[in-house]
Chains A and B, each alone.
Chain A
Amino acid sequence: MRVERLLHEFGVDFDVCAFDLKPGIPPEGLPRQQVYAGRTYPSGYLDNMRQMAADSGIEMKRPPLIPNTRKPHEATEFARDNGRVLEFHCAVFKAYWADEENIGDPAVLCRIAADCGLNGGALEAALGDGRYAGRIAEQMAWSRDVGITGVPTVIFDGRIAVVGAQDYETFRNVARRVFESRSQA
């Protein structure tokens, strides 16, 4: 994963912010064919996405279900509070895109959490009482307020944003420039 490479090369304080890419998905999710009915992609678009994923060690498939991602985002906050946010974030992506799991299912999230060394039972309780729902709402509101319309958007030092799935060299170049601009400040 590109963030992990940046972490090793530069030292990274990793932060995540929830975004609601598909508002209106019900809690049980919707079939992909229904959500993307009639959608066409530019030539090579999907192949490029798959290659980018492969470069990050993920065999990207096309999961048949589009889940509601509120619970995965809440679970990510639980992982943050318990010191495993990057591991959990990566594991949820893999579970969905490579293993085609229903990440909207709290039981799936609890199993992923346990695999990451987190307490699955404690996560189940947190998802049940909705204690992280407020944080997710705040993050989504922040994303809208600053004008983010696509994901992933990676923001460096709160100043520079890289939009879309880019190759590692792009992230690396921006990171280097951000460090240089620090020294000039």
Chain B
Amino acid sequence: MESWSVGFDGNDDVERHAGMLDAARPGKPDAARPALHLRVVSDYI
């Protein structure tokens, strides 16, 4: 699913590593891994 649609570095970076998706590790947060920075731009209405 390619619903994400905008990248400030472009989407190239994601596309380059698209094949790595299945190798990514889901699950519990890794304490040694820096947290994902998530900036939510929103309005309340």
Contacts and interface: CB of A to CB of B under 8 A. Distances in A.
Interface of A: 3, 6, 8-22, 66-67, 69, 72-73, 89, 92-93, 96, 103, 143, 146-148, 151-164, 166, 169-170, 172-181, 184
Interface residues of B, number: 37
Given A161-B4, A180-B17, A11 B44 contact: no
A170 B7 CA distance: 15
A154 B36 CA distance: 12
A176 B5 CA distance: 16
B9 A15 contact: no
Main secondary structure of the interface of A (DSSP, over half): mixed
Nearest to B11: A160
Given A18-B43, A96-B45, A177-B18, A158 B37 contact: yes
Given A14-B38, A179-B33, 13 more contacts: A12-B35, A17-B39, A21-B43, A67-B45, A153-B6, A156-B37, A156-B38, A160-B13, A163-B6, A172-B26, A174-B14, A176-B21, A179-B25
Given A16-B40, A155-B39, A69 B45 contact: yes
Q: Which of B6, B18, B26 has the most CB of A within 10 A?
A: B6
Contact of A13 (B11, B16, B35): B35
B4 to A, nearest CB: 4
Given A9-B28, A17-B40, A160-B13, A180 B3 contact: no
Contact of B36 (A21, A89, A157, A170): A157
A74 to B, nearest CB: 12
A154 B25 CA distance: 21
Given A10-B29, A11-B36, A163-B6, A181 B41 contact: no
* A3, A15, A155: residue with the most chain B Cβ atoms closer than 10 Å: A155
B36 A12 contact: yes
Contacts of B41: 16-19, 143, 148, 151-155
Contacts of B4: 160-163, 166, 170, 174
